[in-house]
Amino acid sequence: MSHYFKNRRVSLLMACVFILAVFLTTLPLQAQETKGHQQGGIIKGTVNTPWVKRYPALVYVDQVKGEFPPPKKNSFMGQKGLVFAPHILPILKGSTVDFTNDDSVAHNVFSPPGAATRFNLGIYGVGVKKTVTFDNLGEVPLLCNVHPEMLGYILVLQNPYFALTDNSGKYEIKNVPPGTYKLKVWHEKLQETFKEVTVQEGKTVSVEFERDKLKQK
């Protein structure tokens, strides 16, 4: 008799543990779903090219309905150790960028013909900050008149749904509003390419860019 009760107690306890475990494992899932529901979907995947080991690729949604005002805080493009840092700076249209000089030598940052925004900051020394506002969509290569080896890029975008790849080519764009879009890849060494993507509320969609489709410039 007591054996029977003991077994019963054990199975009751096991049942409780099981229910608790199920509850605990589904809890974060539920939270995630609620969050995803409020914040659109996720686009993720890989840009399969060895070039990403050197410089990241930019993956971005080409056009999204709505207005996306630029951040009030200025973006930042430094010059340190005779390189532009960061090498690639994606920004929203209308953003203002601070160009600082953290080197012990003077720089003369400018954008060449063909850039979405043309500018020339002139020669400026250490500790000086110059600012430029970027009102046109597209690519702005950055050069320096003093150091021909210096090269950087600003990419001016219509919406905040973009990501740079890590050094294995992986990217993830969060909170994308549901819809069908052109998902574009930009890399300084590659021709621009895109894939169509449909984003659903609360879902993750994978978009892979195959190596043979990524043509060198």
Tell me whether residue 47 or residue 115 sits nearer to Cu ion (CB atom): 115
Instruction: Give the shortest CB-177-to-Cu ion separation in angstroms.
Output: 40
Instruction: Give the shortest CB-123-to-Cu ion separation in angstroms.
Output: 9
Interface with Cu ion (CB under 5 A): 107, 144, 146-147, 150
Which residue's beta carbon is nearest to the bound Cu ion?
144
Instruction: Give the shortest CB-144-to-Cu ion separation in angstroms.
Output: 3
End-to-end CA distance of the chain: 82
Tell me whether residue 93 or residue 107 sits nearer to Cu ion (CB atom): 107
Q: How far apart are CA 92 and CA 106, in angstroms?
A: 28
Cα distances from 40 to residues 13, 32, 37, in angstroms, run 41, 12, 6
- The separation between CA 90 and the C-alpha centre of its own chain, rounded to angstroms, equals 8
Instruction: Give the shortest CB-115-to-Cu ion separation in angstroms.
Output: 17
Rounded-to-10 torsion of CA 33, 35, 93, 48: -40
Tell me whether residue 89 or residue 163 sits nearer to Cu ion (CB atom): 89
Q: What angle do CA 57, 62, 63 make, to 5 degrees?
A: 155
Hey, which residues does 92 pair with through a beta bridge? Answer: 157
Rounded-to-10 torsion of CA 41, 47, 51, 57: -30
Tell me whether residue 61 or residue 121 sits nearer to Cu ion (CB atom): 121
Instruction: Give the shortest CB-87-to-Cu ion separation in angstroms.
Output: 14
Q: How far apart are CA 145 and CA 82, in angstroms?
A: 12
Tell me whether residue 153 or residue 162 sits nearer to Cu ion (CB atom): 153
Tell me whether residue 104 or residue 216 sits nearer to Cu ion (CB atom): 104
Instruction: Give the shortest CB-147-to-Cu ion separation in angstroms.
Output: 4
User: How many C-beta neighbours within 10 Å does residue 155 have?
Assistant: 19
